[in-house]
Amino acid sequence: MIEIKDLHKSYRMGSNSLHVLKGINFSVEDGELVAIMGSSGSGKSTLLNILGMLDGADSGEYNLDGVPIKDLNETKAAQYRNKFLGFIFQSFNLINYKTAAENVALPLYYQKVGRKERQDKSIAYLEKVGLKNWAHHLPSELSGGQKQRVAIARALAAEPKVLLADEPTGALDSKTSYEVMDLIQKINDEGNTILVVTHEPDIAEMCKRIVHLKDGVIVEDKKVEQVRAEQYV
């Protein structure tokens, strides 16, 4: 699904250049649930941004579902993001004046799906994350865990190839975190490919594979026995 070869990325900081990713080789199969771990500054967010086409790499290859991702202009990147990727953010990033259902429907709007179908789909996905009764509430009326579930429903609504989660439990307490991880695991069980960036070991343990990043290189890449979050809920 994802194939990365010798990926380099550096940032210019005035006259200095900060080499963040120093040759990443990495591939993800269909249906995997991968945790990307590392301390801050290890380059894990940069890697996720490149995977999410929010940022470009300096050199190296990146193939997503067999499509080479290279030299994208903004318009093309937007198209690919809409088609291939679903994002889950630490701070949820819901649009605060739109209801849960409208937030979930937004990626479909950019896919040019009709209004009626958008509404039906968004309700269906909210039902999937257990928030059907909250569909017409504003984000401000929802708890943190509920917001993240809306965000997950939104990421799913576009039916992407890969879900990218950037610290999805970073802003939640541990009980809510496990609920969210439980949901992510269930979505993965249905065959969705998911990448989770986290620095919490217990969250990482709930994935099927852990990739450790340190100073811009992968230091460890291991398959783990998945800890089901269900038991903590």
State in angstroms the smallest separation of the CB of 231 from other proteins. Answer: 33
Segment lying near other proteins (by CB under 8 A), choices 29-37, 83-91, 129-137, 178-186: 83-91
For position 106 contacting other proteins by CB under 8 A, the verdict is yes
List the one residue out of 110, 17, 16, 4 whose CA is nearest residue 48: 4
- Name the residue type at position 104: V
Q: 10, 25, 79, 226: which one contacts other proteins (CB under 8 A)?
A: 79
Q: 178 with 34: CB under 8 angstroms?
A: no
Q: 41, 61, 89, 200: which one contacts other proteins (CB under 8 A)?
A: 89
Segment lying near other proteins (by CB under 8 A), choices 104-112, 169-177, 185-193, 224-232: 104-112
Strands, E, within the chain: which ranges? Answer: 2-13, 16-28, 33-37, 59-64, 67-68, 85-88, 162-166, 193-197, 209-214, 217-223
Q: By rule CB under 8 A, what count of residues binds other proteins?
A: 29
For position 11 contacting other proteins by CB under 8 A, the verdict is no
State in angstroms the smallest separation of the CB of 7 from other proteins. Answer: 17
How much of the chain is helix, strand and coil, in % rounded to 5? 40, 30, 35
Q: 21 with 9: CB under 8 angstroms?
A: yes
For position 111 contacting other proteins by CB under 8 A, the verdict is yes
**Nearer Cβ to other proteins, position 15 or 73?**
73
Long-range contacts from 18-22, C-beta under 8 angstroms, 24+ separation? 19/216, 20/46, 20/216, 21/46, 21/47, 21/50, 21/57, 21/216, 22/215, 22/216, 22/217
Residue 191: CB atoms within 10 A of its CB come to 8
Rule CB under 8 A: which of 135-164 touch other proteins?
154, 158
**Nearer Cβ to other proteins, position 56 or 60?**
56
Segment lying near other proteins (by CB under 8 A), choices 57-65, 71-79, 120-128, 209-217: 71-79
DSSP β-ladder status, 2-13 and 67-68 = unpaired
State in angstroms the smallest separation of the CB of 73 from other proteins. Answer: 9
Q: Which residues bind other proteins (CB under 8 A)?
A: 49, 52, 54-55, 74-75, 78-79, 81-83, 87, 89, 93-95, 97-98, 102, 106-107, 109-112, 114-115, 154, 158
